[in-house]
Structure 1
Amino acid sequence: MHQLSFFPSRTMALYVGRLFLVRSFGILFALVLVLQTLDLLGESGKILAVAGNGDSEVWRYVGLRLPQIVETFLPFSVLLGTILTLATLNQNSEVIAMKAAGMSAHQVLAPLFLAAFLVAGISFAFNERIVARATASLSAWQKVEYARIPVDNGVRSNIWVRAGDDLINAQTVQTTGGTVKLTGVRVYERTGGVLSSILRADSARAIAGGWEFTNASRFIRRSGTVRELGTIVAAKGVRPDQFTLAQVKGDELPFLQLKSAIADLEAAGRPVDALKGVLWHKISGPLSAILMPLLGAVAAFGLARSGKLFVRAILGMALGFAYFVADNFALAMGDLGAYSPFLAAWGPFILFALIGEMILIRTEE
């Protein structure tokens, strides 16, 4: 009967789960305290160097930076909390007692999986409600080097839009009185993916049925000639909002807002694969907490008196840190377009879940 129940003992599950949560959050508190202090030592000078800044601005920086540190190091804390918990249970022969009672390795780890799932849920909610907003505010503040943030004038620069096979580039996009005006416009006209001509114009404004290009000219690639066109109407079917979409940074938006922004950008013909990877990593990132008990499980099994407990703990740490390296590498490859969004977000998670399960089965089950 014990083998068919995921939690054979409610008392044991509560004991192990509580031990895991207390140690994980205790490690997180210590890490955040140390890292926030070190980070503040490096940034406080820059903040106070700006005229008018004082203690309130330093505390504002702490309030914005602290959520980022918590988000970054929560999975590390869960990993270290897992290894410390399992090593302690092994050292005190409590794992041996559980095994002697008929519990399998998965049943021993079950309370940790449940507690880690709770941590993942808290992490996701924390990232959505606090971290995204703090990241956006801190990024805007750091762009002006901790000075007063100027009011957004609505001018966008170097905007690219795709219209069918054609690519449109505008040096600046300005919205005045509900009218969208472009300056320094280039339309790269392509046929079958091959450049055929380039339409240039000093400016363009949205009108009914298209865009009115001023002082336009067209360079014909095949003949190498330039034709002066004056004022013409072109780029029919291209919507003004395709140019006014703000540049989207995935880590500054919650999941649903980012998903909506990706849909808008995709409709505007903008590249979105990197943002899709960030979108799905908002789920796979917090869920990495569930992997930590599996990767750290090598510290739980095997005789502590054999002298290999320390080696097992180091192996568990190595597996956990290898996952974080692979995760960051996959995201970087996703940004470069080398990996698909799904592979960038979920590839390391699935790979290390299989590795952890294989090690657990081969060593204990």
Structure 2
Amino acid sequence: MQAQFFPSRTVALYMARLFIVRTFAILAALVLVLQALDLLSESGKILAVAGNGDAEVWRYVGFRVPQIIERFLPFSVLLSTILTLSTLNQNSEIVALKGSGLSAHQVLAPLILASFIIAILSFAFNDRIVSRATATLNRWQKVQYAALPIDRGDRTNVWVRDGEDLIEVDTVKGKGDAVKLTGITIYDRQNGNLIGIIRSAGGGRVEGGWRVDSASRFDVASGRISPLGAIVVARGVRPDQFTLTNVDPNGLSFGALSSAISDLNDAGRPTKALEGSLWHKISGPLSSVLMPLLGAVAAFGIARSGKLFIRAVIAMLLGFAYFVADNFALAMGNLGAYPPILAAWAPFFLFLLIGEIVLVRSEE
């Protein structure tokens, strides 16, 4: 057995080139077909809006294509792995490599390295392009493909925690120190028990807290309502805690989502689902590294045995099983059934172990 991990630079470049070219060729074909099918259902909605034309259709394509690339790049890596290894096996090139003393891991090494580079490019592409396209497309779809309104930071039905107290605001307008609150309800709690409810028509930011006007307090113990006038409340609450409402993890970059999670934690809101999505921004692109290992079953075994097709099907089933497990774990994480790190990383390490076991038992 050769001692070097890449014993032949020529063979490594040859296999990596085959793998990368076929990956992006398959991805281009998938994007073309899937985007055409997607347009069949969406183009009618876009053109139904007065003033929309071909420019808006192409604008939609520009937003949608990055999402399709993000979703189906790992599928393309899987299919490219099976196609590349099956072709090498059928042409007895795998037999020649094995006969020269290479182990199965050494045969797969060029593909694993190439898939790791693809994973890095995928992470950068998702972080810089897909997140922005997703955020803009979501806003556009909310107005049913009409003209995009200017985002002035207005929010509705906002909840914020101030120590033990809970603050509910019907409407939040503006940003920073210019934030204006309308329909304020403060649930005054002590040792986990509700002792009073303060209501106000509105208020704004002042030095040292938030000034609410025409406030009144309902005392739970006595059942009485007492007028308070203008008072200062929520001294420890920042303006950005009111402007953070529903955070879409798909529309934020890794850094922006991490900052949003930190702010939501400060506001006392649940963040477990968002933390799982944050970790998945790394484990998702990294799944490309698994595909050569899961598809390796198509590479080994004598092609003349007539079982090459069966091996390719097994490799495809292993790959698709990973995607099913990954989506299931992420859904369980969103529901709070799985811890965030487990939801994002458990399928990756589980199928890494499965791929190694299948490879070792079948070849090594």
Same fold (TM over 0.5): yes
Which residues in structure 2 correspond to 1:170-181 (within 5 Å)?
A: 170-175=169-174, 178-181=177-180
Aligned amino acid, residue 225 of structure 1: G
Verify: 1:156 aligned to 2:158, yes or no: no
Aligned residues: 363
Alpha-carbon deviations, 1:179-229, whole Å to 9, x = none? 3322222223333344444333322333333333334344444x4724323
Q: 2:223 aligns with which of 203, 225, 239?
A: 225
The aligned counterpart of 2:87 is 88
The aligned counterpart of 2:235 is 236
8 A Cα contact 1:28 1:74, kept in partner: yes
Structure 1: how far apart are the matches of 2:361 and 2:176?
A: 69
Aligned amino acid, residue 15 of structure 1: Y
8 A Cα contact 1:117 1:290, kept in partner: yes
Shift of 1:103: 0.6
The aligned counterpart of 1:250 is 249
The change in CA–CA distance for 1:115 and 1:266 in structure 2 (over 3 A counts) is same
Structure 2: how far apart are the matches of 1:145 and 1:304?
A: 54
Which stretch of structure 1 is more off in the superposition, 312-321 or 175-184? Answer: 175-184
Shift of 1:102: 0.8
Verify: 1:192 aligned to 2:191, yes or no: yes
8 A Cα contact 2:175 2:239, kept in partner: no
8 A Cα contact 1:330 1:345, kept in partner: yes
Structure 2: how far apart are the matches of 1:190 and 1:351?
A: 45
Structure 1: how far apart are the matches of 2:251 and 2:96?
A: 48
Which stretch of structure 1 is more off in the superposition, 143-152 or 240-249? Answer: 240-249
Aligned amino acid, residue 228 of structure 1: S
Shift of 1:63: 1.0
Verify: 1:40 aligned to 2:39, yes or no: yes
Structure 2: how far apart are the matches of 1:189 and 1:301?
A: 68
The aligned counterpart of 1:126 is 125
CA RMSD of aligned residues (A): 1.9
User: Structure 2-normalised TM-score?
Assistant: 0.94
Structure 1: how far apart are the matches of 2:25 and 2:238?
A: 53
8 A Cα contact 1:217 1:226, kept in partner: no
Structure 2: how far apart are the matches of 1:67 and 1:233?
A: 47
Alpha-carbon deviations, 1:137-166, whole Å to 9, x = none? 111111111111122243211111111222
Aligned amino acid, residue 96 of structure 2: A
Aligned amino acid, residue 151 of structure 1: I
The aligned counterpart of 1:31 is 30
Alpha-carbon deviations, 1:90-127, whole Å to 9, x = none? 12221111111111110010011011011111111211
Alpha-carbon deviations, 1:281-324, whole Å to 9, x = none? 11111110000001111111112222222121111111111111
Verify: 1:309 aligned to 2:308, yes or no: yes
Counterpart secondary structure, 2:150: coil
Unaligned residue ranges in structure 2 (runs of 5+)? none
Using the aligned pairs only, state the percent identity.
66
8 A Cα contact 2:158 2:245, kept in partner: no
Shift of 1:277: 1.6
Which stretch of structure 1 is more off in the superposition, 335-344 or 70-79? Answer: 335-344
User: Structure 1-normalised TM-score?
Assistant: 0.93
Unaligned residue ranges in structure 1 (runs of 5+)? none
Shift of 1:16: 1.2
